[in-house]
Structure 1
Amino acid sequence: MKCLGSQAGFLVYSRLWAPVRFFCKLKRWKEPFRDSYEYSRLLQRYGGTKGLQVIHAQIITGGYGQNPFLAAKLVSQYAERGELSMGDARKVFDCVCERDILLWNVVIQGYAKSGPFGEALNMYDQMRTRGILTNRYTFPFVLKACAASGVGNKGRVIHGHVVKVGLELDLFVENALVAFYAKCKEIKISHRVFDEIQDKDLVSWNSMIAGYMQNGCANETLIILHQLLQDDTVGMPDHATLVSALPACAQAASIRDGIWIHSYIIKTGMKVDAALGSGLVAVYAHCGCLDTARELFDRLPERNIVVWNVMIRCYGMHGHAHEAIDMFSRMVETGVKPDGISFVSVLSACSHVGLIDEAWKLFYKMGDYGVGKNDEHYACMVDLLGRAGYLDEAVKFIENMPVEAGKDAYGALLGACRIHSNIELGEEVAEKLFVLDPDNAGRYIILAKMYEDAGRWEDAARLRKVIRVKTIKKPLGYSAIALDNVVHTFGVEDESHPMTSQIFDTLERLEKMVVQDKAVV
């Protein structure tokens, strides 16, 4: 080992061996600590699993096994090690005869963070059955477990408990309710709870911003962000705010907001970690600034799999398949192991420009990295073959898949049938999709357009009638314009805007002006 300078070497030596000496000291102890306070300090200082077990043994032999405060500390320490250690945490909890609210909250929190989430709800029910009074710290953990378990009805019942015990105006609980309803896809209820919060803090705003983004509402996310910036009672955005807002900027292609966030990060000296870095790269790439995205990517000090995947997807999205493949290779060379998203991104890039040989090589390499193939990967290969005109090969590929083909694979094949005007195969594929994806109007419309292209108007009308009878709604396209930091959206024959009459009046005047100008010419 290379010799270090005397003082620096001593410091490094001390730091390396301090935990070992400490553990050995623990092993030699024969007399217990004087009181629980010293045990508590020791639990906070020492984080190793073996050291925790030794301290746990000392607590028991020292006669403090029934101390609920120390038990809560032990449960918290075990819970921080993840789901595998929750069994040890539960044993500590079960051994205590007189459990206070702190101990109950800590074990519920452990299950809510690490799982199994259903056990957090079971503990909450036991707590209420035994008459233990809940407090403001109980409900956020339970609501988090409800959202993670996908049991929205249970969460609504717990919301009722919140009101019953008089905590519906507690900020800590209200923020948890905002996050809970958003994660359960009840974004309108989430916003209603948010509006009822009297003194919103930054967590309140962050919960609402993240909630809208989790529900795919990019424009609403940016609206809430602008409202936050106009609120003088709350501090400026933090890391959590920007991590949630950047994907909205990318999805809405709002380069203005993206540049503002980037400038804000630089001005405040905020560290650009992988989460912020991937968000910024995605914003510039989605807004067409691919060179800027790449320059930012190259300057990032921290690049994890998420950052690499974003850059690969960006190249593929802009039709630069060779660059996407090169980026994939660089990622592997740096020691970052690709995941399923990496392969979907690079296979999709190959598909869009017809790099068949390269795509097959990558497809067969997936097993080398321990990445399992799912419907998205198979759909990429079907799309690759279909776009290139190899429809028969695409059909054979689907038939030989080790798993049953899903809507993504058949959807890719139907799209290829439209490109190459193969109505017979398109009809067969569409019939399968009508079963696999019955509420997707796009499937019906693709086949209807194929009929129209072939002049089969009656068949096209029949399909469009099916859409009306089944009340299958197609997502409508819309135009959006930002005015005074507010995004206004307009759809076809849309009269929902509060200024509809003024807008149509203006359009009529503009139309008359155009007609007059043409007459003069």
Structure 2
Amino acid sequence: MVLLLKTKMHGLFGRCAELLVSRRKWDTLGSFPFLFAARICTGHHCRDSYDYTYLLEQCKSKKSVKKVHAQIVIGGYEQNPFVAAKLVGKYVEYDSNMEVASKVFDSLLDRDVFVWNMVIQGYANLGPFEEALDLYHQMRLSGLSANRYTYPFVLKACGAMKDGNKGQLVHGHVVKLGLDSDLFVANALIASYAKCKDVVISRKVFDNILEKDIISWNSMISGYTVNGHVDEALMLFPAMLQGHTTCLPDHATLVSTLPACVQASAIHVGFWIHSYVIKSGMEVESALGSGLISMYANCGRVSIAREVFVRIKDKNAVAWSAMIRCYGMHGYADEALQMYSQLLESGIHPDEVIFLCLLSACSHAGMVAKGWEIFKEMDDYGIQKNDNHYACMVDLLGRAGFLDQAVEFIESMPVQPGKDVYGALLGACRIHNNIELAEEAAKKLLILDPDNAGRYVILAKMYEDAGRWEDAARVRTAVRENKVRKLTGCSSIEVNCIHHTFGVDDMSHPLTDQIFITLERLDRIMEEEIVIV
């Protein structure tokens, strides 16, 4: 009878504690009568902080964390900084927000740097990111000094907010504490500045690191690639291989470098990466495989891209969309549609990117009926259409010569047409030489995309083709008066896996003198050959 009573009471107190935790009634949980009764119900067995941290380590869900949390409260260890830090970490790991974790933190009377770091890390991962910065400043005001583990979380929040000014402020604190030479902190600085689009300072931090590790190289290469500095990324990659043999490329290195190869069509670097993957026995999963497919697609190697796709284990939607895009951009619309059928058979739910690739494939192949079918099928899968999908449909109709239908489609759009939609219409007018409709599209584009010189150029060329020289001159004058800058054309060459880009009268290359001397010699040789002939 006594044993049964104890069991029932233990279950009752455990349930009460869980309810109180879920309702966040923190002030009532530490009362002596409650604690005394709970300990009687557990058979006088008192756990210590090590027991509770061990139990938290075993938790694999938020529900199990809450159960242990209730036991921690019953045991009177909710004020233990070590247990509280572990508890915060577990809520961060298994919760979608910081609400409960922040309640645990706010209830602490004594906080050490470890528990501050845990809650700052949580906000840096889950957001709102501003809270991570606010807590960092509160910690400093409390008299605690941040350490080498604090700053990577704070800098991560700065990068997520893309706030370079706050990042520089934190960087100043790092220098004052003498932590700028710490590899852990320096790597975080590289990533933070890169996310804030300041690759110049990011590179300065990188160059000041004496003993770089693989994370240093990966962060800098990724920073260059994400910010469009593909030439710098492709120059840094071989520098890593040649000068630091101890830092061998890992999966993250290759995934970061491949997008640069795609943008620059750097086939030789891409070949080296693929060879390295094969020789090292690295598993080709979706992220790496998708990068290789996109690289081979941009270089016109469709058959090799297909071989890579076949070897990918656990293909996801990204891998399928990369292969569908590869087929579509090279005119293999039937193969792209066949891939789509195989995707559906595999049980993968198509996303908006896959439908965009399919519509693009239909557009380039002139498959209007199939394009309409694919466009309507998006509703069946609950895919939200965006401006790119509508622009693809306008391009599909316009390329096929159905300009009137394209105009009707634009007028029936449930959202306001964007610059890509009218850009597609203007391009179709150029193909079919419809000046009147081109003028209407151009008027819209001058409002939606006034700084795009390409729109002016298309209209001016249409006027010139029609012999309307005054109108062409008027458009080109508008470009000058509005100070619209055209993108500078350039040529590129790849030498020893290094990608070199040259613009008109470009004097920026370090070997400019030798290059122009060589060109002059080639000109003389060609003139001599012409004279001989």
Q: TM-score, normalised by structure 2?
A: 0.89
| Shift >6 Å, 4+ stretches | none
Gaps of 5+ in 1: 1-22
Query: Residue in 2 aligned with 1:18?
Result: none
Q: 3-state SS of the aligned residue for 2:494? A: strand
Q: 3-state SS of the aligned residue for 1:389? A: coil
Q: 3-state SS of the aligned residue for 1:83? A: coil
CA distance in 2, matches of 1:353, 1:99: 65
Following superposition of structure 1 onto structure 2, how do residues 51-450 of structure 1 map, counting pairs within 5 Å?
A: 51-84=64-97, 86-232=98-244, 234-450=246-462
Structure 1 residue 465: Cα displacement: 2.8
- Residues 198-227 of structure 1 deviation map (CA, whole Å, 9 limit, x = unaligned): 221111110001101111222221111111
Deviates more, 1:67-76 or 1:479-488: 479-488
Q: Is the 8 A contact 2:62 2:95 kept in 1?
A: no
CA distance in 1, matches of 2:417, 2:435: 20
CA distance in 2, matches of 1:31, 1:111: 39
Partner AA of 1:475 in structure 2? L
Partner AA of 2:434 in structure 1? N
Structure 1 residue 45: Cα displacement: 2.3
Partner AA of 2:463 in structure 1? Y
Q: Is the 8 A contact 1:376 1:408 kept in 2?
A: yes
Following superposition of structure 1 onto structure 2, how do residues 508-519 of structure 1 map, counting pairs within 5 Å?
A: 508-519=520-531
Q: TM-score, normalised by structure 1?
A: 0.91
Matched, 1:482 2:515: no
Q: Is the 8 A contact 1:386 1:417 kept in 2?
A: yes
CA distance in 2, matches of 1:330, 1:31: 63
Structure 1 residue 406: Cα displacement: 0.4
Structure 1 residue 40: Cα displacement: 1.3
Q: Is the 8 A contact 2:231 2:500 kept in 1?
A: no
Q: Is the 8 A contact 2:284 2:311 kept in 1?
A: no
Q: 3-state SS of the aligned residue for 2:528? A: helix
CA distance in 2, matches of 1:187, 1:82: 34
Matched, 1:46 2:59: yes
Partner AA of 2:226 in structure 1? Q
Query: Residue in 1 aligned with 2:10?
Result: none
Q: 3-state SS of the aligned residue for 2:94? A: coil
Structure 1 residue 29: Cα displacement: 5.7
CA distance in 1, matches of 2:163, 2:322: 32
CA distance in 1, matches of 2:206, 2:160: 20
Among 49, 71, 87, the alignment partner of 1:36 is 49
Partner AA of 2:488 in structure 1? L
- Residues 161-208 of structure 1 deviation map (CA, whole Å, 9 limit, x = unaligned): 222333222221111111111111112221122112222111111000
- Across the aligned residues of Structure 1 and Structure 2, the Cα RMSD in angstroms comes to 2.0
Structure 1 residue 244: Cα displacement: 0.5
Partner AA of 1:454 in structure 2? A
Q: Is the 8 A contact 1:200 1:234 kept in 2?
A: no
CA distance in 1, matches of 2:272, 2:514: 32
Query: Residue in 1 aligned with 2:29?
Result: none
- Residues 65-104 of structure 1 deviation map (CA, whole Å, 9 limit, x = unaligned): 00111111111111112424x2111111111111111111
Gaps of 5+ in 2: 1-13, 19-40
Structure 1 or 2, whichever has the larger Rg, is 2
Partner AA of 1:271 in structure 2? E
Among 439, 452, 477, the alignment partner of 2:464 is 452
Q: 3-state SS of the aligned residue for 1:338? A: coil
Q: 3-state SS of the aligned residue for 2:513? A: helix
C-alpha spacing 1:90/1:459, structure 2 compared with 1 (3 Å): same
Structure 1 residue 30: Cα displacement: 5.5
CA distance in 2, matches of 1:321, 1:476: 33
C-alpha spacing 1:82/1:311, structure 2 compared with 1 (3 Å): farther
Partner AA of 1:80 in structure 2? E
Structure 1 residue 236: Cα displacement: 0.5
Q: Is the 8 A contact 1:423 1:450 kept in 2?
A: yes
Structure 1 residue 509: Cα displacement: 1.8
CA distance in 2, matches of 1:407, 1:219: 29
Q: Is the 8 A contact 1:72 1:102 kept in 2?
A: yes
- Residues 132-175 of structure 1 deviation map (CA, whole Å, 9 limit, x = unaligned): 21111112111211221232222222222222333222221111
CA distance in 2, matches of 1:447, 1:363: 30
Q: 3-state SS of the aligned residue for 1:490? A: strand
CA distance in 2, matches of 1:158, 1:456: 59
Q: Tell me: higher relative CO, structure 1 or 2? Use CA pairs within 8 A at least 6 residues apart.
A: 2
Partner AA of 1:395 in structure 2? V
Q: Is the 8 A contact 1:477 1:491 kept in 2?
A: yes
CA distance in 2, matches of 1:285, 1:29: 66
C-alpha spacing 1:29/1:261, structure 2 compared with 1 (3 Å): farther
Q: Is the 8 A contact 1:32 1:61 kept in 2?
A: no
Q: 3-state SS of the aligned residue for 1:349? A: helix
Percentage of pairs with the same residue? 58
Query: Residue in 1 aligned with 2:3?
Result: none
Q: 3-state SS of the aligned residue for 1:80? A: helix
